[in-house]
Amino acid sequence: MGVCSSTKKRLIVRQTSSLKLSPILREKPLLIKKNTINKLDSKLEKKDSDLNLLPTNDLQKNIANIVSDESIFEREKRMVVLLVSCNIENPSQLVLIDVDLASTNFGKIICRLSLPMPGEELYSLACIRNSQSLLHSDETDINIQQNNQQFTLIVPVPSHSRIYILKLMDATLNNGSENGSLKAQKQAANNESSSSAISTHIRIQKCITREELSRWDLGAPLSVCSNSAVRSNAIPLLLVTTVDRSGHCKGDLLRLDRRTFCPVDRRKRSITSEDRESSINSGTSTFSNSAVISLESTTTTTTNSFATNGQKFKFPMFGGTLAISLRNGVVFSTEWGNLDQIFQQKPSLKQNLNGNDEPSTIYGCGINVWEMRRRKLIQTIRLNPEEGGLWPVCIRMLHHAELTHGFVCTSIGSSIYHLHKCTRSGQFIADKIVSFSPVTIGPTDWPGNCPEVPAFLTDMAISMDDLNLYVCAAFHGFVAQLDISDPFRPSLTQKVFLGGIIYKCIGISELGKMPLGKSTSTQRSYNTEQIKLNGKIYEGGPCRLQLSLDGRRLFISNSFLRNWDQHFFPKLAEVGSSIALVHIDPSGEKPMKVDKDFGIRFDFENKTNEHKNNGNTSPSNFAFYARDMRFLGGDSTSDLI
């Protein structure tokens, strides 16, 4: 049995079996091309993992009925969204949006907070629900405590090497909507004198500055632990940093105390003889098509200046996103690459700006495994950049804490890797299981510097029942649903199209053979028509995903990074970003359906109307890019079972 952290409901955890994996799966990954899939042989011969998720049909059916039941999870009512200013001279914001369908303010902004510094680049957001015992110590505030919920937001700022700790007080989550209880509304009316204390607002509680991070030889924090919604000492609050105090590339982990939100128990900077010995004796990796760890190999992974004379020390070369495996007590982090060049330079889809054969100095291709308690690097998995392993941008683990399965998607490589543990060696393995084929076009038909348009995967989300994986492709403009009931052999269920970069106005030929006008819509792996949401054209492509706990609603934003958006989707800076909604019916033949009547836009027009309604005649004159999204009641990218 398991417990969902957001609702404390008891759920059935699927049993595991020690089935065997065929070597053919590593040699022939799933190729998704023209919306068709070549299915592999279902026979399993080689024992590679004892955590394969292949329950019996009856058990799988019962799990699907239980976990997908809407009555189990409380429906989301509030959503926090990161907004990055399209103009680098203006500050970024955090907004709280009403997503309660029963509310008259559905889709409207409840409150917003502007960050103090202009031009801050934001990517990741964590939302922690505070326990009631920590809210108020004064007995006179009992009524306020009952009618309010307080959350802590963690916002790393990689562009300015700082971390914001924000407090969100939502006075309307329990009693602000029309469907609130009469008792709660009376309690709110009796506390009008304390309205200033219970108003919905976001404020900055603490800021960890560049100077404080430099004391630990850290900088440019990029992402925060995806499981930070669980307020438990068993799961540390971790962030991934990407540079050292001098600005040189170095991936590392930073832990924050869950009560004071201060950096804690950093290991010593000196490298001891014990660390050297354990590092040399630990398994190292080499480049291979299947990214399998070779225990006999003595070749060390690519690291920064801490690696000399063939000895692998503690720190990888790059940082990125991260995920936690509680069962093994390890943390996984991906390697994005050189963040300074990714954020500041003109976007390039090649391994390096010079186009030569030298190793890539921009994008990474590794997955690092850390010991969670000591935050010590114990293994590095190298993905082959020539086989789809370039720029692993996102990693997600299954929600059941006892299961060791994860998925990693690469942007430029446009591939999905299955991360699991090998029982023979005790090491982790990443097998390529899905590859999205590129589209060949003329070299001057789009702003990229190569003749092929990759799918450019940017984000993933896994349903709470661990049966479905959703992945978005910004350039091809689709969101795909994959059946991962067998994580070794996923199957494509459906694609829905939202924007992208490929349209009829460009003379496109699929794979250089089929002209656009002669291919049918069912064969295309991209959309040729721009869709409209709420009466307006949806610019950009799907970049960030957030899935409800019941797996019925998928929210999608269309911004990746500021310089990438400005280069590939220049109109997005003019009209502002949007959030789309896809309804999911688990029992339907085509489960995903885009809600064309829904669309939250962060443009000048909406802000003007908002300020007029609030009696303010000086609205902001710039639009925003929408990034990470979090539900206050919990979501599928931050909760465990």
Length of the chain: 641
CB 21 within 8 A of CB 29: no
Q: 189: burial class by Cβ within 10 Å (0-12, 13-18, 19+)? A: exposed
- The pLDDT tens digits for 224-268 are 986 655 556 668 899 999 999 999 999 999 999 988 999 986 554
The reported pLDDT for the residue numbered 258 is 87
Residues near 512 by beta carbon (within 8 Å), at least 6 away in sequence: 440
Inside any domain, residue 123 = no
Cα–Cα distance between 205 and 268 in angstroms, integer?
29
Q: Evaluate if residue 357 carries a pLDDT over 90.
A: no
What's the CA gap between 606 and 589, in Å, rounded? 37
Classify 278 as helix, strand or coil: helix
Q: Average pLDDT for residues 445-474, to the nearest whole number?
A: 91
502 in a domain, yes or no?
A: no
> Does 348 or 151 have the greater pLDDT score?
151
Output the pLDDT for position 130.
Answer: 78
Residue 371 belongs to a domain: yes
Cβ atoms 275, 314 nearer than 8 A = yes
Q: What share of the chain is helix, strand, coil (3-state, %, to 5)?
A: 15, 35, 50
Q: Which two tokens stand for residue 542?
A: 């799907």
Residue 161 lies in a domain: yes
Least confident of 62-71, 440-449, 511-520: 511-520
Q: Highest-confidence range of 27-31, 36-40, 272-276, 546-550, by mean pLDDT?
A: 546-550
Three-state DSSP at 196 gives helix
Please compute the mean of the pLDDT values over residues 100-115 and round it to a whole number: 92
Position 367 scores a pLDDT of 98
CATH at 368: 2.130.10.10
In this predicted structure, the answer to whether residue 338 has a pLDDT above a threshold of 90 is yes
Condensed to tens digits (0 to 9), the pLDDT of residues 400-426 reads: 877 889 999 999 999 999 999 998 899
Rounded Cα distance, 580 and 470, in Å? 15
30-33/428-436 β-pairing: parallel
The mean predicted confidence, pLDDT, of the chain is 75
Range list of H helices, 38-105: 57-67
In a domain, 259, yes or no: yes
Predicted pLDDT at 510: 47
pLDDT for res 439: 85
279 in a domain, yes or no?
A: no
- Residue 264 has what pLDDT? 85
Instruction: Determine which of 169-173, 407-411, 555-559, 586-590 has the lowest per-residue pLDDT on average.
Output: 169-173
- The total number of structural domains that make up the chain: 1
Residues 335, 317: contact at Cβ < 8 Å? yes
Token pair in block for residue 531: 């869709």
Percent of the chain with pLDDT over 90: 48
Indicate whether 218 belongs to any domain: yes
**Residues 492/37, Cβ–Cβ less than 8 Å:** yes
- Of residues 71 and 521, more confidence is placed in 71
Which range among 195-199, 290-294, 301-305, 568-572 has the greatest average pLDDT? 568-572
Q: What is the pLDDT of residue 351?
A: 59
* Residue-range definition of the domain harbouring residue 399: 150-170+203-265+312-347+362-435
pLDDT at 495 over 60: yes
pLDDT at 538 over 70: yes
Arithmetic mean of pLDDT, 108-114: 93
User: What is the CB neighbour count within 10 angstroms for residue 104?
Assistant: 9
Q: Which residue has the higher pLDDT, 240 or 621?
A: 240
Weakest mean pLDDT among 201-215, 288-302, 358-372, 397-411: 288-302
Beta-bridge partner residues of 165: 154, 206
pTM of the model: 0.79
Position 455 scores a pLDDT of: 94
Q: If you search the block for the tokens 């054209």, which residue do you land on?
A: 537
* Residue at 227 is within a domain: yes
Average pLDDT in the 195-221 region?
A: 86
pLDDT at 120: 96
